[in-house]
Amino acid sequence: MSKPYELLKEHFGKLARLNHAVTFLQWDQLVMMPPGGNHSRSNSIAELSAMHHELLSSTYLAELLENCLQQECDDETRRSLFEMSRVHQQALCIPSDLVKAKSLAGSLCEHGWRKQRKDNDWDSFLLNFREVVNLSRQEAMARQSAASDRHKTPYDALLDLYCTGDSSELIEQIFVELKAELPGLVKQISESQTAETAVFHGPFSTSAQKKLNQKLMGYLGFNFNQGRLDESNHPFSTGDRGDHRITTRFRRSDFLDALQATAHETGHASYEAGLPSKWEGLPIGSSRNMCIHESQSLLFEKHLFLSKAFLSFFTKSIHEYLPQTSETSREHIWSACSQVRPSYIRVEADEVSYPLHVILRFEIESKLINGELEAADIPEAWDDSMTNYLGLSTKGNYTDGCLQDIHWTDGSFGYFPSYTLGAVNSAQLFAAIKRTHPNWNERLGQGDVTFVHDWLKDTIWSKASSMDSQEIIEQATGEGTNPAWFLAHLKERYINQE
Amino acid sequence: MSKPYELLKEHFGKLARLNHAVTFLQWDQLVMMPPGGNHSRSNSIAELSAMHHELLSSTYLAELLENCLQQECDDETRRSLFEMSRVHQQALCIPSDLVKAKSLAGSLCEHGWRKQRKDNDWDSFLLNFREVVNLSRQEAMARQSAASDRHKTPYDALLDLYCTGDSSELIEQIFVELKAELPGLVKQISESQTAETAVFHGPFSTSAQKKLNQKLMGYLGFNFNQGRLDESNHPFSTGDRGDHRITTRFRRSDFLDALQATAHETGHASYEAGLPSKWEGLPIGSSRNMCIHESQSLLFEKHLFLSKAFLSFFTKSIHEYLPQTSETSREHIWSACSQVRPSYIRVEADEVSYPLHVILRFEIESKLINGELEAADIPEAWDDSMTNYLGLSTKGNYTDGCLQDIHWTDGSFGYFPSYTLGAVNSAQLFAAIKRTHPNWNERLGQGDVTFVHDWLKDTIWSKASSMDSQEIIEQATGEGTNPAWFLAHLKERYINQE
């Protein structure tokens, strides 16, 4: 194409190179850095982020984009320009005063929250949180008015940061279907389950667990020439082309926690590693959104690692690396991973009740941002929904209720739905994989996931951001996100126990 | 002071924050990064380095500096402005075409050298190396003419990058004194020594060695809240305020190699950690030059770690962490560390003959850059000096002769002298420490180096770049760099065996 488009690619290449630096400085901060480094590290990251923001919102970029958008071009370039404009607009539409004020209010609120949650102190939290809500509403309105053709509500404009392309209307439809079934399913399954029978004879050394987790990553297709496994307080995945880094955490009493986290993060890393190199550094070449990202991690965790066939295969490795588990069968392990029961805490929730925790948060945060609910009214709304969905009251119990998550403290509204969209998408994708690979069970039983990699690379990873989220799901599975597949998966796994 | 000076400080703060990023991206590249990350990492570092260079050579900076230099100010600010001008000028005086050409020629030459050294292939090396010399001469002349008040010769202008403030005239005087004594000393000591008596019963596990090295760092005053020890192919030290990272390499057959490298790098890191925070991010607050830096690392390695008293103390830790060494005495260990003999390879040379390797290189590279010697004449000059200084001929043996070092391949002329200036300075500084602390031997015997830290912090570290190199040595020891202290140290240690 024209010279301006080449200049655009060079400009986004520069942004990608800055982003690379921030990515690995943050990885180091969480994984390697001694405490004393925090001051200079934070300053350096802030400087690079400011440079990134300046380049992304620059007049130079705006003019190049306008120039290119006025010219004839092929579909791929058109799409590439659309994604460039989208991220440019996202950077441009928030006044820097608001960015700073939100960052400050978020830090204050998050810092206070760490103690207030322990102290069950909602009133003190509310004092800081009101300002976070206030500024997030301003942000949402600014984002909506900058792209009112794409966002029906202010909340939709925040959703666009994480669930890009999936509107609150779509999400609500999906959640309505889940809400109709999940409370009953949770009850039915939890009442029918016998108590956990697994007996683990720890402690399990960190070094042995690390080798076992690397073994798992290898079976799940991770390439150690292009990545690493390390430890951190909270498992995460990050990186850049050719260098994908995941972390997990090791508990000496329980080896399953790390394995599940590792499988999960390997899914995230596989998606990133599978993005096409032809669009390197360009917005069109990025992962689509968090709903697709989470579908990859949950597919690896819940559908590959926790499948009967793969887990049977992998139990041999568990016995090999952790000899104390020689008496522990695949059934023991599955029993420990599959307990379903209503609980207060989202991050500890099982696969069946987890979406209800998310739906509750989606309903509250969307109303909050759209001005239909005030911060002070959250505890009551929380208690109502917990009682309706899971039969648990959180009245007066803020610690295990609306103070349990970190997400809202810094104003990350719009993130929660991606967890459940991801779960729903993962079941739908895995069902499609099974349809196209009738011998899937046999292959997983041999520890072979190459067919999954090939299929995902073809249908999801290679698409990057060249299509909308729903278009990607549709071309891969024949329809847009449909919760029926997820519900069928739950029934199959927990009721029919197939 | 005035507003322009505040703006200067802010500008250098920005440079420091960029530098922080490059520093830790490079550390990661050498210590953590999987091979697949090299492409995007190199691109990111190059981008940040280009941004750094642009800011450091900017007209904005030039104007601020000029503005400030015209105003009255106190001595400290004057000195700070001088150091700012110096680094600005260093960045400004080399045309970017020359930077690129030298980088390209250096990469080509270094790449070829890896094979040519193995193949003893001087002729092929020379084909690439001529261009490196040619471009380095151009660089040297450009640097000299930009600061002709400070540099008498083109080579002096390159020296200024590493041995800042120590002229080739000064270095030559020092080297003349060393040359007069060292060849005789090497002969005398090597003939008088009995063969090595140490017997080590490896293999020594890497994890046990790592703990032992961390123990050593702790005794040498390293603060692990502000730093780390890791492994890499070549030991090095890097970091930023509050985060000092050193690496070592572990050989399974020999635990002494890692310990000496660790002590050495701990010296480098201690200097950086001791720089005053009041000048954070400013050129005046940087370490002075490589001659002072190397004096700190050699002081920690040769004078603290390898002192009889400290080594006796630390042998207990060696026995504790490496139980196979229980029969190995302090004398065995010292014997293994103190063998003196003429040898071809600089990096394997002992403390006594090492300076002769450096002097040889200094004499050749200074003539080369000043146009008094051509690249093609290096092998003959090398053989002459090796024969004169160490009684070893390298005729026709390029592998162990003029092809052994990596330094010249990318045009890093002017670096070599800092090794020996550092050795000389370290002996002079340690002699001064002993004078002011008569109980030094007793304290080292208790593993106590706090008095060394205090003294160095007071006389060296706190000065940063607020004085010239020779001023720093003089205020610390009463005189400028004087090789007599180093020669006395060698005689004391290897002849009188005190």
Structure tokens at A23: 């990515």
Residue B119: inside a domain, yes or no?
A: no
The residue of chain A nearest to residue B23, with distances taken between CA atoms, is A25
Yes or no, beta carbons of A17 and B44 under 8 Å apart: yes
Task: Tell me the one-letter amino acid at B315.
Answer: T
Q: Are residues B210 and B273 in the same domain?
A: yes
Q: Which of B200, B268, B202 is nearest to B235 (CA)?
A: B268
Which residue do the tokens 């600005």 mark? B88
- pLDDT the model gives residue B202: 84
Give the pLDDT of residue B275.
98
**Chain A nearest C-alpha distance from B113 (Å):** 26
Determine contact: A161 vs chain B, CB below 8 A. no
Q: Is the per-residue pLDDT at A202 higher than 90?
A: no
Asked if B38's CB is within 8 angstroms of A242's CB, the reply is yes
Give the strand pairing for A243-248 and A227-231: parallel
- Of the candidates A17, A227, A239, which has its C-beta nearest B47's C-beta? A17
DSSP type of residue A227? E
- Whether A34 sits inside 8 A of B243 (CB atoms) is yes
Q: Are A42 and A136 in the same domain?
A: no
Q: Tell me: the pLDDT tens digits for B126-164?
A: 999 999 999 999 999 999 999 999 999 999 999 999 999
Predicted local distance difference test score (pLDDT) of residue B2: 60
Q: Tens of pLDDT along A304-323?
A: 999 999 999 999 999 999 99
> Are A17 and B227 inside 8 Å of each other by CB?
no
Q: Kindly state the average pLDDT of the residues A454-458.
A: 98
Same domain (yes/no): A338, A385: yes
Of the residues B77, B92, B107, the one at which a domain ends: B92
Cα-based distances in Å from B96 to B50, B93, B139, B241, B377 = 10, 9, 11, 30, 30
A183, two tokens: 């409370």
d(CA A264, CA A295): 10
Quote the pLDDT of residue B497: 79
The reported pLDDT for the residue numbered B197 is 61
**Could you report the predicted ipTM of this complex, rounded to two decimals?**
0.94
Question: If you average pLDDT over residues A196-212, what whole number do you get?
Answer: 86
Residue B332 is part of which domain span? 138-498
> In this complex, is the C-beta atom of A277 within 8 Å of any C-beta atom belonging to chain B?
no
Q: Is A54 on the interface with B (CB under 8 A)?
A: no
Q: Do B32 and B163 belong together in one domain? A: no
Cα separation of A443 and A43, whole Å?
Answer: 49
Give chain B positions within 8 Å (CB) of A34. 224-228, 242-243
**Contact between B240 and A40 using a beta-carbon 8 Å cutoff:** yes
pLDDT digits (tens, 9 = 90+) for A45-89: 999 999 999 999 999 999 999 999 999 999 999 999 999 999 999
Please tell me if residue B38 touches chain A, with a CB cutoff of 8 Å: yes
Integer Cα distance of A22 and B39 in angstroms: 16
**pLDDT band, very low/low/confident/very high, at A196 (cuts 50, 70, 90):** low
Question: Do residues B60 and B147 both lie within one domain?
Answer: no
Q: What is the mean pLDDT of chain B?
A: 95
Q: Range with the lowest mean pLDDT among B94-98, B171-175, B470-474? A: B94-98
Tell me which of B29, B58, B92 is where a domain ends.
B92
Same domain, B203 and B70: no
Determine the residue among B26, B31, B41, B231 to mutate to test chain A binding: the one whose Cβ has the most chain A Cβ atoms within 10 Å: B41
A18 Cβ under 8 Å from any chain B Cβ: yes
Residues B65 and B157 in one domain: no
Q: Cis omega before residue B379 (within 30°)?
A: no
Shared domain check, A176 and A140: yes
The per-residue pLDDT for B306 is 96
Of A72, A92, A112, the last residue of a domain is A92
Q: What is the mean pLDDT of residues B17-39?
A: 95
- A285 vs B: CB within 8 A: no
Contact B465, B83 (CB under 8 A): yes
Question: Residues of A with CB below 8 A from B24's CB?
Answer: 24-25, 28, 41
Q: How high is the pLDDT of residue A197?
A: 61
CATH of the domain at B312: 1.10.1370.30
Alpha helices in A119-167 (DSSP H): 122-146, 154-162
pLDDT tens for each residue of A18-54? 999 999 999 999 999 999 999 999 999 999 999 999 9
B224 to chain A nearest CA, in Å? 7
Q: Do the Cβ atoms of B20 and A38 come within 8 Å?
A: no
Structural domain total, chain B:
2
Residue at B166 is within a domain: yes
Per-residue pLDDT reduced to its tens digit, B252-306 = 999 999 999 999 999 999 999 999 999 999 999 999 999 999 999 999 999 999 9
Residue A329 resides in a domain: yes
Q: Is the pTM of this model over 0.90?
A: yes
Q: Do A48 and B224 touch (CB under 8 A)?
A: no
> Under an 8 A CB cutoff, do B242 and A37 touch?
yes
Helix (H, G, I), strand (E, B) or coil at B374: coil
- Beta-carbon contacts of A305 under 8 Å, excluding residues fewer than 6 positions away, are A216, A220, A259, A260, A263, A311, A314
What percent of chain B has a predicted confidence (pLDDT) above 90? 92
**Residue B223 forms contact with A (CB below 8 Å):** yes
**Cα–Cα distance for residue pair A36/B410, rounded to 1 Å:** 35
A14, A43, A225: best to mutate for the B interface, most B CBs within 10 A: A43
Q: Which of B14, B48, B243 sits opposite A37 (nearest CB)?
A: B243
Q: How far apart are the first and last CA of chain B?
A: 53
A1 shares contact with chain B (CB less than 8 Å): no
Residue B492 within any structural domain of the chain: yes
Residues A156, A15, single domain; the answer is no
State whether A227 and B34 contact (CB < 8 Å): yes
Any domain includes A154:
yes
Residue A12 has pLDDT above 90, yes or no: yes
Give the model confidence (pLDDT) of A386-406 as tens digits.
Answer: 999 999 999 999 999 999 999
Give mean pLDDT, residues A176-185: 97
Mean pLDDT value across residues B427-453: 98
Residue A145 within any structural domain of the chain: yes
H helix intervals, B119-205: 122-146, 154-162, 168-192
Instruction: Report the mean per-residue pLDDT for chain A.
Output: 95
Supply the angle between the helices B59-69 and B3-31 in degrees, to the nearest 10: 130
**Quick one: average pLDDT of B111-128?**
96
User: Measured between beta carbons, which residues in chain B are less than 8 angstroms from residue A226?
Assistant: 34-37
Which contiguous run of DSSP H or E holds residue B247?
strand B243-248
Q: Do B37 and A223 touch (CB under 8 A)?
A: no
Residues 6 or more apart from A99 whose CB is under 8 A from it? none
Max CA distance (Å), chain B: 69
Contact B45, B33 (CB under 8 A): no
Can you tell me the distance from the alpha carbon of B354 to that of A129, in angstroms, rounded to the nearest whole number? 65
Residue B488 inside a domain? The answer is yes
- pLDDT tens for B300-357 read 999 999 999 999 999 999 999 999 999 889 888 988 889 999 999 999 999 999 999 9
CA distance B322 to chain A (A): 20
* Shared-domain flag, residues A271 and A331: yes
Confidence band, pLDDT 50/70/90 cuts, at residue B496: confident
- Interface A-B, measured as beta-carbon pairs within 8 A, has a size of 108
A66 with A215, same domain? Answer: no
For residues B254 and B203, is the Cβ–Cβ distance under 8 A?
Answer: no
Say yes or no: B87 and B142 in one domain.
no
Predicted pLDDT of residue B449: 98
> Which residue would you say has higher pLDDT here, A215 or B329?
A215
Decide if B24 touches A, using CB distance below 8 A. yes
B111 belongs to a structural domain: no
